[in-house]
Amino acid sequence: MQLGLIGLGKMGGNMRERIRRAGHTVIGYDRNPDLTDVQDLAELVERLDAPRTVWVMVPAGAATQSVIDELGGLLEAGDTVVDGGNSRWTDDEKHAAELGAKGIGFVDAGVSGGVWGLENGYALMVGGDSEHVDRLRPIFDALKPDGPYGYVHAGKVGAGHFSKMVHNGIEYAMMQAYAEGWELLEKVDSVTDVREVFRSWQEGTVIRSWLLDLAVNALDEDEHLDKLRGWAQDSGEGRWTVEAAIDNAVPLPAITASLFARFSSRQDDSPQMKMIAALRNQFGGHAVESAKE
């Protein structure tokens, strides 16, 4: 199958490689001339055979809207656009309507896998009409992990990004729990090897997880996280999850508390946020701030 891919950063570049390894043709565009296969979106569309599929992997908000607007003027009826970034689900409904008026299909795909996806595969939560989703299944199969799991057609337009948003909200709460436990272990005098305590949890315990494995990786690199500043960004999905909970009267005390804990990191050098920052860097390559000397 042939695919156009816009945005070849940390995830997009690895996705291009994984899809190519599965035997598909990927024509990529990025503003970085060292990464791109074509000079602009017009050339990208010109090199694709109809019906075209273009996958967008750019930051949510204005950047995605700009690309959707440009593609709307370049693509034709029967083509399909996939938004694989972290867009808000309400934007999906708008984009589907804008493109649908021109006969262009729209699919939203929540993608999880971070910098590890090239080798491990990406979990995919997809929203859209079956006629558009089903045609893209070879690409989804190329991206997903090996085995029966890792892909779901979650529902109509917006369902993919809504599901990914909730996934990220849960991720906030899980990371916060590990961070709080780590800080408490570091605080007491009786525990002399916190890193090895975390390592001991990797097998045979009910709290073992990939996040725990990444926490151990981070502690192997910097045993007491002394090199990190206790500051962690929130990328938007946590806020949207809490807002959706309010709109639907669903109590989310753990996820909400974990979001506010990140806000506290903007005020002081929080030990817990060192672990949050380390975990975000481990799974997603997100930027960290170094501790001041």
For residue 73 the two structure tokens come to: 């003027």
Question: Environment class of residue 263 by beta-carbon count within 10 Å: exposed (0-12), middle (13-18) or buried (19+)?
Answer: exposed
Catalytic residue among 144, 171, 237, 274: 171
Give average pLDDT by consecutive 10-residue segment, the chain, 293 residues.
96 96 98 96 97 96 96 98 96 97 98 92 98 97 96 98 96 96 97 98 97 97 93 85 97 95 77 86 82 62
Instruction: Could you list the beta-strand ranges (E) of 13-163.
Output: 25-29, 53-56, 80-83, 105-112, 123-127, 151-155
Q: Which of 119, 144, 156, 164 is catalytic?
A: 164
Per-residue pLDDT, 231: 83
The confidence score (pLDDT) of residue 267 equals 67
Q: For this structure, is 171 an active site residue?
A: yes
In the block, which residue shows the tokens 């009409």? 129
C-alpha radius of gyration, the chain, whole number: 20
pLDDT at 293: 45
Which helix H or strand E contains 2, and what residues bound it? strand 2-6
164 as an active site residue: the answer is yes
